Chains A and B, each alone.
Chain A
Amino acid sequence: MSFLVQQIINFGVSEGTLALILMVPVVATFIAFSRQIIGIRGLGIYITLIIAYAFVATKLKYGLVIFLVVVITGSLVRLLLKKARLLYLPKMAIILTSVAFSIFLMFLLGSFLSIEGLQIISIFPILIMILMAERFVAVQIERGQKMAIFLTLETVVLAIISYYIINWSWLGQILLKYPLQSFLILFLFNFLLGKWTGLRLTEYFRFKELMEYLEVSKK
């Protein structure tokens, strides 16, 4: 373990918290890489990252359930309110109210069925998910239903992979051992990524036919 890390831990910060912080750049890099090199768009770096961390805090199983509850409730209520013609903020407030209410119901159901583990989930990951409802609904309005579903699915997949990266203890140990080096490497890597102008992996599929044609005509 790096003596810098030791210094912080001696100060009283837990090793787990420190590892989670050191993981932020790794996950951010992973999301940037997925967009620029692979071509998975998702809903952006912020939403994906924060959902991944919410999953870590709630355990994946419950995280996914809460996520589903939030997205479905949010979308349904938006559709119901569409005809009513409300101003944006009151409309959002109603959507957030219904999402909070459905989480309330979820806990109630959990208590009746005495589902273990549900009760110990802390407030912050749940709050994060509830607030995410606003983004999902906004994307639905802006980009249309089909696109919103697609982007949300991409985001969930990225968040799940990020979840496993964060929980990868070997990587956590490495980061605690070489914190400065990892910052530097990730910084350089992202700098190069930012200058990358090559085709994305998904574009190789998108333009496959075009490329086959170009190849024939060049010969």
Chain B
Amino acid sequence: MTSRETLAQLKAKFGPAILRADLPADNRLLLYVEPFAIKPVCQYIFRDLDARYVISIGADDRPFSGQFLVAHDFAFDRDRILCSVLTHIPADKPKVDSISDVVPAANWAEREIRDMIGIEPVGHPYPKRLVLPDGWPDGSHPLRKDFAWNQVPEGFDEEREFKFDEPPEGCMVVPFGPFHPTLDEPAHFRLYVEGEMVRGCEYRGFMVHRGIEKLAESVLTYNEIPMMAERICGICGCVHNVAYAQAVESAIALRLPPRAEYIRTIMLEIERLQSHLLWVGLACHIVGFDTLFMQSWRIREPIMWIAEKISGNRKTYALCLIGGVRWDITPDIKTELRQLLDKLEAEWKPVVAAVLKDKNIQARTSGVGVADKTACKNTGLVGPVARAAGVDIDCRRDHPYAAYDRVDFDVITADGCDVWSRVVVRATEVFESIKIIRQCLDRMEPGPLQADIKDELPVGRLGLSSVEAPRGESHHFVITGENNRPRRWRVRAPTYQNLQGIPAMIKDQQLADMTISLGSIDPCFSCTDRLETIDLRSKAVKVWTQEELVKMVKARKA
């Protein structure tokens, strides 16, 4: 089905409830509906048309339209359409029907809207605070336009403790994180444990205070944001950067020079290489297999070097600007990259062969952390987690961007639904990435790196973009705005959805499997925590000495 046919079907079903529909491109569908119709429309799209839920966005549109805006993004993967269902909410009554009971994957996103914008999802099954910190006062919403980026809310209470749910009968609570050897970033799980079995958990994350989205809407400019975007993630140096640039480019319908597209593709795949090798190492470390941990990191290291050679940095590549890239692949680098890929392939093959044969690793990972097709659909799981459950999705093929429509590659899937399948998928995807980079190197023609942008960017346009990050689909939503910066920029990293699948994955399995189950989604908490809230003491920039920190902690205890 094309986007036109889909629209026709929706119009036939809902008629006048659909206020307006925009088709900025063949593969985009923007649907403005009446507030009362939001739930049935989403249900129809999600269940009957079998679209994949991507994310929900709330925006404070009051300065422009006098209303709040809520959008639910869906992806029709087979039909290559990204769709956004939008509705305007009156400013004096910030309430919207929750879709979480029909689209369970929207659970977090709606809670985030509630926290950050203050739009109440009516009928939400679990309307608990998600993003805001423990001490943040109720009724204060940092992403509203009348909330300054450096404001400290009145009534902030350092002492306030988060009220967690009661554990089920017969279970004790094992706190897991924020400081735990397996977690490289802070997040807190309260595991309900009975003996060695996990019976459930409660998640309290969003502990990294950065406020990136707020900064983008209030301080930064279009071409500064990519440099901030690539710092969203701790491991991916260009996924968010590319996704943001593409979202803006999609909003203003800008075409890129082909060479820039190839370079973006190459960098994205280099990133996938290093990320997958990193993950295989970490997964091995989690199950206590440190030799493979060290070996895969050794194999990974030259990839970091070549990335540094291309961009000047191991991780933060500063690659994209709106309409192009900043770094070229020189002939020297091209040769070196080819050699590197050969070496990598030669080294990685025996590792994969060894891993695939290893009964020991299989014993620890088979049947562990199970998320089947239904779970993927309901929780909106993406990336290798979904592909390991036989869900054949990959944005590189389904929603082609950069030069992915010009290269051949296979989408690797497996059907074990467990951690083992995720190991297989990731280990094998490395070879596909090598293949893609080689093709790009072959086909790349000389040409400009940057499109010409002469005028100011148009205002109020919507842009959607999905990029297949190593962990899964990274989705960016942009509304262009005044003052050379977007009005609203919403980042949905793959971990945001995948993390929601964790409670089901670890339920009724051994406590020892918790870490590898969590590890198997390759969680990136910094991606998830990207917007949290602004620095509370940002006015007074201060370096805390250790003594002061200790004193502060002690004062809190007392």
**Do A and B share a complex?**
no
